[in-house]
Amino acid sequence: MHAAPHVEEVDGIRACPCCGGALHQIGEDVAERLDVVPITFRVLVTRRPRYGCRSCESAVVQAPAPARIVEGGIPTEALIAQVLIAKYADHLPLYRQAQIYARQGIQLDRSTLADWVGRAAWYLRPLRDHILKRLRRSERLFADETTAPVLDPGRGRTKTGQLWAYARDDHPWGGGDPPMVAYVYAADRKGERAQAHLGDFAGILQVDGYGGYAALARRRKEISLAFCWAHVRRKFYELADTSPVATEVLRRIASLYVIENEIRGNPAEQRRQVRDERSRIIVNDLHNYLDARNRQVSAKSKLGEAIRYALTRWDGLSRFLDDGRVDLDSNVVERAIRPLAINRKNALFAGSDEGGDNWAVIATLIENCKIAGVNPHTWMTETLTRLANGHPANALGELMPWTAVG
């Protein structure tokens, strides 16, 4: 409540209830209640007088019209930011926003709001691309993807696009680069998509078991894959109630996480040393255990599938032992995927491939505001205003959310 504006009211008696004499204050009681003012629209009127010169009578002078994201349109950059944040941060579809605004007496058609979103995304796309470019220069990245239903014009149904997420968080090993994430829309899940998105990236790529990443690593020798222990654990967790083998595997994986919790935030080399001393023997024994059970269980059983999933990815699962920068799992990027899933559930589908790309662009910037601890509406309003006023393309780094911290 301390961050909210305070409006004070003095409620007092002016005359003595006994004799009617004047009163003097001897103390006070103060009570605070949280109030709300519903969203309020206002019309900003900009007058630009035209001036003529009495001396030469040939010059007419007028101040230039203010720059706008929607040229000739009615929304301010603050209103456009409100629509973007409501849709992609608060997961309110445009038709619901139109209903909310109508209650305030403002009639805005869903198609009008969609046009504003598209125009804003056009201005904001270079910022997303700038973030992706910075991510490509990282030593290690996380990658994941999720479905994005998109309306398929002419067929009366949706098709399945993909939203790819690329994230960085070097805090667990004391890295100095700011955490960030970028989303990219693609019409399919082909492995070439990741290669196109990552460009000249060379380093460690932390991923789940999707085969497209393995194909990428085979084509690009500069990329080393580190697989996710959380995905391995998940497959055995589903069997723990009925399988003693699954329970034993979970116990051993849990012991790895105990060690990781102890060394989180330590320098990379120190993490590697501790893992070499304590985690390596656990990993080696677990491999032997799984290899022995793999020969005993049916290949078609769920347990057999879980064991083979782990064994066929063992090199990537073991990479954390030799490199302190590698995390045990890819939960960083999975957390970044969750807002996309919520938006997908509420909005059901994007209107087109272009709409899917707009989704990726705007969600990227909002998520980076959240990571940096910046108010996304404030940042979006200021950034749209600066872009409309011609912020130079070679200075996009000045607009990044993490530069607003402090």
Domain ranges of the chain: 229-329
Q: Which two tokens stand for residue 123?
A: 């201005």
DSSP 117-128: HHHHHHHHHHHH
pLDDT at 406: 43
pLDDT at 350: 74
Cβ(250)–Cβ(236) under 8 Å?
yes
**Cα dihedral across residues 317, 318, 319, 321: positive or negative:** positive
Distance CA 172, CA 232 (A): 21
SS3 168: strand
Indicate the burial class of 225 (C-beta count within 10 angstroms; 0-12, 13-18, 19 or more). buried
pLDDT at 283: 97
Q: What's the pTM value of the predicted model, to 2 decimals? A: 0.89
Which residues does 6 contact at the CB level (< 8 Å), separation at least 6? 32
Q: Which two tokens stand for residue 337?
A: 């995927």
Which residues does 262 contact at the CB level (< 8 Å), separation at least 6? 274
Cβ(278)–Cβ(263) under 8 Å?
no
Q: Which two tokens stand for residue 275?
A: 């893992």
DSSP 30-50: --------------------E
Q: Amino acid identity, residue 25? A: Q
**Number of residues written out for the chain:** 406
Residue with tokens 């393309």: 393
With residues binned 3-state (H G I as helix, E B as strand, rest as coil), the percentages for the chain, rounded to 5, are: 50, 15, 35
The kind and range of the H/E element at 141 are strand 140-152
Distance CA 141, CA 146 (A): 17
Which residues does 84 contact at the CB level (< 8 Å), separation at least 6? 117, 120, 362, 366, 380
Q: Considering only CA atoms, which of 184, 178, 129, 138 is closest in space to residue 162?
A: 184
Cβ(401)–Cβ(374) under 8 Å?
yes
Indicate the burial class of 325 (C-beta count within 10 angstroms; 0-12, 13-18, 19 or more). buried
Q: Considering only CA atoms, which of 399, 402, 333 is closest in space to residue 372?
A: 402
Long-range CB contact pairs, 392-397, < 8 A, 24+ = 393/126, 396/126, 396/127, 396/130, 397/130
What are the two backbone dihedrals, phi and then psi, of residue 307, each rounded to the nearest 5 degrees? Answer: -65, -45
Q: Which two tokens stand for residue 37?
A: 């003012």
The 8-class DSSP code of residue 63 comes to P
Per-residue pLDDT of the chain (406 residues; tens, 9 = 90+): 667 788 888 776 778 888 878 888 888 888 888 888 888 889 989 898 998 888 877 788 888 888 899 988 899 999 999 999 999 999 999 999 999 999 989 999 999 999 999 999 999 999 999 999 999 999 999 999 988 888 777 676 778 888 999 999 999 988 888 999 999 998 888 878 888 899 899 999 999 878 888 888 888 889 999 999 999 999 999 989 889 999 999 999 999 999 999 999 999 999 999 999 999 999 999 999 999 999 888 888 999 999 999 999 999 999 999 999 999 999 999 999 988 888 887 776 677 778 889 999 999 999 999 999 999 999 999 999 999 999 998 999 999 999 865 4
